[in-house]
Amino acid sequence: MGAEALRAMLARVRYEVLPAEATEEKVLADVPCDIVLTVTASPVKGLEPTLDLTERLTAHGYRVVPHVPARLLRDDAHLKDVAERLRAAGVDDVFVPAGDSGRPAGPYEGALPVLRRLGELARPFAHMGITGYPESHPFIHDDITIQAMWDKRAHATYIVSNLCFDPRVLGDWIARIRCRGVTLPVYVGVAGPVQRARLLSLATKIGVGESTRFLTRHPSWFLRFAMPGGYAPERLLRRGAEALTATSAGVAGLHLFTFNQIAETERWRRALLDRIG
């Protein structure tokens, strides 16, 4: 990836953080206010920690995108209350996955009914994101996930891809969704410079976030972090240059999974910008 293209990608990043006790302090200490933050939601702890952290971070001047998993919503009234609370905090962007809960808390099995309901509520959010799966979903066939993006295209405004460590797979997936007529811009999901010990520690805790639970369903991915030279976000970006920078790809930026290694992620971004700039 050329220096200009890489610099542009690093300027359009979103940091995914987990609503833990120290997250607010870490963000304030290390993250500039011009970086978008996304806050995960846990099926164990529910939406309250996500909403609370979102309110506190927006009060500090950050643009925050809370996760609102469909399966954590109890009913239409709950969805309306969540939307009103977020709008009151100044939120104009939400990410709506189905969620990992084995049993939905209410009538919403997946994201599409929630997106439709938000439309009936006069679209309280200017931007709404949905999930994409470059590497196969553990429970859903690839063609179904792409069809789901097609079904949601009239309601959503962008896609966030889940973690992918293979630039070839990532490029093939982007080409497939474009061939199927899905034109929504894509934020490419990339793991930050994660320390394996820290990642394993997080994965053993209950309810730390959707991204960590996704990793636990793919134990081979831990090996990528463990092997010397096995994973480096910069190398992934450079090897995926063609897929990420092609005009037809429609890549809007990077979605960095920090696993709450927030300071480390921001130091890596700044150091890389310094090297190429």
Domains and CATH numbers, the chain: 3-276 (3.20.20.220)
CA distance 216 to 203: 7
Q: Tell me which residue has tokens 């891809």.
A: 161
When mean pLDDT is compared across 130-134, 198-202, 244-248, the lowest value belongs to 198-202
Give the model's confidence band at 198: pLDDT under 50 very low, under 70 low, under 90 confident, else very high. Answer: low
> What pLDDT sits at residue 1?
57
For residue 190, list its beta bridge partners: 256
Q: Assign 221 to helix, strand or coil.
A: helix
Q: Is residue 94 within 8 Å of 60, Cβ to Cβ?
A: no
* pTM attached to this predicted model: 0.87
> What pLDDT sits at residue 136?
57
> What pLDDT sits at residue 189?
92
The radius of gyration computed from the CA coordinates of the chain, to the nearest angstrom, equals: 18
Closest by CA position to 192, among listed 100, 272, 133:
272
Q: Which two tokens stand for residue 277?
A: 């700039």
What is the mean predicted confidence (pLDDT) over 222-230? 56
E strand spans, 113-228: 127-132, 158-161, 186-191
pLDDT over 70, % of the chain: 82
How many Cβ atoms sit within 10 Å of the Cβ of residue 54?
27
> What pLDDT sits at residue 137?
54
The string of pLDDT tens digits covering residues 151-197 is 888 899 999 998 887 888 899 999 988 988 889 999 999 988 876 66
Q: Is the pLDDT of residue 67 over 80?
A: yes
